A and B are shown apart, each in its own frame.
Chain A
Amino acid sequence: MVKFDILKHELVPKFTILSKEEVEALRQTYGIRKEHLPWIRKSDPICKVLGAKPGDVLKIERNSEVAGKSIAYRYVVPG
């Protein structure tokens, strides 16, 4: 069992699962297939907490030292 809520930890950035439409929009802006995004395993703690399934795309919003805010995406793969 999860001992504490990792989403509340200060070092864990904000993760959200993108909706189908959002994923499509993301694919359009970068002109890529989902597989071209960086991958994250389904077994990753954050995926377990969010209940992300293989095929989902996660959005990560981080505070960046150089850019203030930065946004990244992850494609969930099995494993």
Chain B
Amino acid sequence: MSVNDIAKSIKSIRFGLLSPEEIRKMSVVNIITADTYDEDGVPIDAGLMDRRLGTIEPGQKCQTCGNRVGQCPGHFGHIELARPVVHPGFAKTVYLTLRAICWNCGRILLKKEDYDKYVQLMEKYRRRWPQLRHKLAEKIMKRASKLQECPYCGREQFKIKFEKPTTYYEEHPEGNVKLAPSEIRARLERITDADAALLGLDPQMARPEWMVLTVLPVPPSSVRPSITLESGVRSEDDLTHKLVDIIRINERLKENIDAGAPQLIIEDLWELLQYHVTTYFDNETSGIPPARHRSGRPLRTLAQRLKGKEGRFRSNLSGKRVDFSARTVISPDPLISMNEVGVPIEVAKLLTIPERINKFNIDEMKKLIENGPDNHPGANYIIRPDGRRIDLRFPKDRKTIADSVEVGYIVERHIKDGDVVLFNRQPSLHRMSIMAHRVRVLPYKTFRLNLCVCPPYNADFDGDEMNLHVPQSEEARAEALVLMLVQEQILSPRYGGPIMGAIQDYISGAYMLTKKTTLLTREEASQLLISAGYDGELPPPAIKEPEEMWTGKQLVSLFFPRDFNYTLKANICQKCGQCKKEECPHDAYVVIRNGVLISGVLDKKSIGAGQPESVLHRLVKDYGTDMGRIFIDKAFKLFLSYIDSRGLTIGLDEEELPKEAKEKIRMVVEEAEQKTAKLIQIYNEGLLERLPGRTLEETLETKIMQELEEAREKAGEIASQYLKETNSALLMARTGARGSLMNLAHMVACVGQQSVRGERINRGYQNRTLPHFKPGDLGARAHGFVYSSYKDRLNPIEFFFHAMGGREGLVDTAVRTSQSGYMQRRLINALQDIRVEYDGTVRATDGSIIQFKYGEDGVDPAKSDHGKAVNVDKIIEKVVGAGVI
């Protein structure tokens, strides 16, 4: 049995301090020389690279354990410090402990009765609330630091002052006295074991005086390997450099003490030793300059190796690197299914799946082996039952190998169409960031994905890259298929609505297709249905004379289930006072009865991504995810082919307003300008009335802002009235495909007020924003109101203000993402192990309860109806509504 086979389960982990004896016991050599290698490159005995510390050169046997490089774990050495130094990691604890004990007798500064009370309490806590012990210890220490006189020896107590990182003073009436580490250690030594327990220490594991080092462990050379550069120059690890410093100072200190040097010199050297030990542990300690390499680079010592993103924990222990993965640029492919991912042939030839040969697949596998690693449906390796691997890259004659394989061999074959893979885009913020797709091997070099999976990945195609992973075991594939397949993720657990659905052109296409005016000839209708993958009969035409014509609504209806009923208001709804329902003049009242779209147009509200209570939501919820996938794959293609055949474009001339409209807008803006002028005048006369909670200036600002905002809105309204119904930008804004009416107003009417920090633009020169204005000008133009529209062109001043507002937007997004990213990291760290148990409780890993019923009602939002377990209204509508018709 090899070392790797020993199975042990860890019952508990205990942390403590190393005692000087322990350090010496585990040490194999007392290091006394600061040098590492001699002229011949041989490690010096009792130096930092002593061969007893473990071997790092291949082929050499370890002097201590006799193992070779991979097997020798490395062995610790030690340095005997000439004078004790405070362990910088425990400096704060040392301070708190010193405060709580008598400098003379070392007892905790508590009156007898308090002491007994706390001893009892501590014993009780130990039995019943062990988690709360350190809190009690803190309380005891705080309490003990209050006493002026020791109740045991009666000596007067002095206040202790702590100066970071490792200096302590005692405040005597005559002045502050510095406490030397040796004195500190002596005091800590006087603490009895029973008292140490009250201070929150376990004296068996951690005696207080062990927080002051007398012996320093030297890590094995494998922890700080030296590297030989190409030029043959040896370069030592940062830790070795630091240890060299410590030994050098330690030796000097020892010599000076032996030679009886003056106290001043000894103290200086002692402090220097403390500095080197402190930076050896943490080179980013606040209050002291970091130790630097000869080149000026700060040294990377123990704490730096562990801390932060590039530290041991986040980078090496939590950070995993994997095989069987690929990464490349993504691009769209509206023709593949939402469950699929397009994989370049070149990638498919490198990613493999191990498949065991059986009597059913042996012929196919032989073919794959024959194809080899360079022809697509091929194989890269064969694993024989005895575990030997055969590389298919080298043999010339793969035919003979193919003939020789038998049942029981494993073939590492290329991934092919239909294989299950995991697809991921960073940042992986929610579970839909990694979904299982089926492979579709395609030419060219990018991963291809259906556009409907863009929202969950938050992907676009401006150069985004994504990762792909190939599950290797049957269990992993099954799990991926059942739990992670794209169609299983259509409904988001965040709000219960479909996170996948139509975006942009899909919505414009759906709207234009289902509009009342869309009539299609037999040829057009057939063409659309074929491209959508429809293989049934063409329904009877809506118009028979003079020519057979079909409506877009008819075509869409073919993709609904026969018993599907639904009603909703479309995104284009104008929110009239009295809804005329089916008689809606805008055709915004969507009615689907028995699978037929009777009235209304399909737009963002009914098929859009992230729209709860939409047609798509009902389809997925009531008919299952298969239905959802089929609808998205087929009907959505219909929308795309329609927009393909018809075209949708915007041009400069389309954003042109008639003279009449321009005049109206000019009047509105002028009126607003007059009103602001009036407000300013009232303000200057001192007649402006203060709004509650505002200063006079703020009142004026708010009023002006209101006035100008209103003007921009009015201008936008006028613009949208005068724009033609056929205006493409307007169509996109109304249907929710892209852009908003505000964007449109910016283009054609007036860009409006620019703001920085939620206020009009007030920065720049003294009392004015730009030198083009008079000082103290409060007018709209001088504070960032842009009269022009984008089409009219902005004048230089307006352009400048616009850039100011735009810059703030950019900075805000950058700041927000980093802040929320950090917050999310902390949240995930805190919540990652919490789960919902089968009894509906939410528990942590130790079985402790966090919620007695998940969300108080035990409802899974992904499977709920708008957060409720059942939607009674919808059920009634479904039962009664269908029955009535």
**Chain A residues near B (Cβ < 8 Å):** 30, 32, 35-38, 54-55, 64, 66-67, 70-73, 77-79
Q: Does B839 belong to the interface (CB within 8 Å)? A: yes
Assess the A67–B132 pair: CB atoms within 8 A: no
14 intermolecular pairs with C-beta atoms under 8 Å apart: A30-B839, A35-B129, A35-B848, A36-B847, A36-B849, A38-B849, A64-B856, A64-B857, A66-B859, A70-B853, A72-B852, A73-B852, A77-B132, A78-B125
Query: When A64-B857, A67-B857 are in contact, do A32 and B849 touch as well, CB less than 8 Å?
Result: yes
Nearest opposing residue in chain A for B850, CB measure = A38
Q: Does B396 belong to the interface (CB within 8 Å)? A: no
Assess the A36–B848 pair: CB atoms within 8 A: yes
Mark interface residues in B653-676 (1 if CB within 8 Å of A CB, else 0).
Answer: 000000000000000000000000
Assess the B848–A37 pair: CB atoms within 8 A: yes
For residue A29, give the distance in angstroms from its CB to the closest CB of chain B: 8
7 nearest CB pairs, A to B: A67-B857, A36-B848, A70-B856, A67-B856, A66-B857, A64-B856, A72-B852
Nearest opposing residue in chain A for B857, CB measure = A67
Q: Does B841 belong to the interface (CB within 8 Å)? A: yes
Assess the A32–B848 pair: CB atoms within 8 A: yes
Assess the A66–B847 pair: CB atoms within 8 A: no
Cα A38 to Cα B872 with chains together (Å): 35
For residue B831, give the distance in angstroms from its CB to the closest CB of chain A: 15
Assess the A32–B847 pair: CB atoms within 8 A: yes
Mark interface residues in B811-849 (1 if CB within 8 Å of A CB, else 0).
Answer: 000000000000000000000000000010101001111
Chain A residues near B846: list those with CB within 8 A.
Answer: 36
Chain B residues near A64: list those with CB within 8 A.
Answer: 856-857
Chain A residues near B132: list those with CB within 8 A.
Answer: 77-79
Indicate the member of A38, A64, A66, A70 with the most B CB atoms within 10 Å: A66
Chain A residues near B561: list those with CB within 8 A.
Answer: none
Cα A36 to Cα B859 with chains together (Å): 23
Q: Does B388 belong to the interface (CB within 8 Å)? A: no
For residue B581, give the distance in angstroms from its CB to the closest CB of chain A: 32
Chain B residues near A54: list those with CB within 8 A.
Answer: 128-129
Chain A residues near B857: list those with CB within 8 A.
Answer: 64, 66-67, 70
Cα A35 to Cα B828 with chains together (Å): 24
For residue B126, give the distance in angstroms from its CB to the closest CB of chain A: 13
Cα A8 to Cα B846 with chains together (Å): 36
Assess the A30–B849 pair: CB atoms within 8 A: yes
Nearest opposing residue in chain B for A32, CB measure = B847
- Select B867's contact among A30, A66, A70, A77, beta carbons within 8 Å: A66
Cα A71 to Cα B859 with chains together (Å): 16
Chain A residues near B843: list those with CB within 8 A.
Answer: 36
Q: Does B135 belong to the interface (CB within 8 Å)? A: yes
Assess the B852–A71 pair: CB atoms within 8 A: yes
Q: Which of B239-298 contact A (CB under 8 A)?
A: none
Nearest opposing residue in chain B for A68, CB measure = B857
For residue A38, give the distance in angstroms from its CB to the closest CB of chain B: 7
Cα A32 to Cα B848 with chains together (Å): 8
Chain B residues near A70: list those with CB within 8 A.
Answer: 852-853, 856-857
Assess the B135–A79 pair: CB atoms within 8 A: yes
Q: Does B855 belong to the interface (CB within 8 Å)? A: yes
Cα A38 to Cα B121 with chains together (Å): 22
Chain B residues near A72: list those with CB within 8 A.
Answer: 851-852
For residue A10, give the distance in angstroms from its CB to the closest CB of chain B: 19
Assess the A37–B856 pair: CB atoms within 8 A: no
Cα A37 to Cα B848 with chains together (Å): 6
Chain B residues near A73: list those with CB within 8 A.
Answer: 849, 852
Indicate the member of B121, B843, B857 with the most A CB atoms within 10 Å: B857
For residue A79, give the distance in angstroms from its CB to the closest CB of chain B: 6
Cα A35 to Cα B844 with chains together (Å): 13
Cα A79 to Cα B859 with chains together (Å): 36
For residue B760, give the distance in angstroms from its CB to the closest CB of chain A: 40
Mark interface residues in B98-129 (1 if CB within 8 Å of A CB, else 0).
Answer: 00000000000000000000000100010011
For residue A28, give the distance in angstroms from its CB to the closest CB of chain B: 12
Mark interface residues in B844-885 (1 if CB within 8 Å of A CB, else 0).
Answer: 001111111101111100000001000000000000000000
For residue B657, give the distance in angstroms from its CB to the closest CB of chain A: 49
Query: When A30-B841, A77-B129 are in contact, do A67 and B849 touch as well, CB less than 8 Å?
Result: no
Chain A residues near B848: list those with CB within 8 A.
Answer: 32, 35-38
Cα A39 to Cα B851 with chains together (Å): 12
Nearest opposing residue in chain A for B129, CB measure = A77
Cα A77 to Cα B130 with chains together (Å): 11
Other than A35-B848, A66-B867, give 19 A-B pairs with Cβ distance below 8 A: A30-B841, A32-B847, A32-B848, A32-B849, A35-B129, A36-B843, A36-B846, A37-B848, A37-B849, A38-B850, A54-B128, A54-B129, A55-B128, A64-B856, A66-B855, A66-B857, A66-B859, A67-B856, A78-B132
For residue B37, give the distance in angstroms from its CB to the closest CB of chain A: 57
Nearest opposing residue in chain B for A33, CB measure = B847
For residue B851, give the distance in angstroms from its CB to the closest CB of chain A: 8
Cα A38 to Cα B843 with chains together (Å): 10
Cα A64 to Cα B848 with chains together (Å): 22
Nearest opposing residue in chain B for A65, CB measure = B856
For residue A72, give the distance in angstroms from its CB to the closest CB of chain B: 5
Nearest opposing residue in chain A for B139, CB measure = A79
Cα A78 to Cα B121 with chains together (Å): 10
Chain B residues near A78: list those with CB within 8 A.
Answer: 121, 125, 129, 132
For residue B268, give the distance in angstroms from its CB to the closest CB of chain A: 47
Chain A residues near B841: list those with CB within 8 A.
Answer: 30
Cα A78 to Cα B853 with chains together (Å): 26
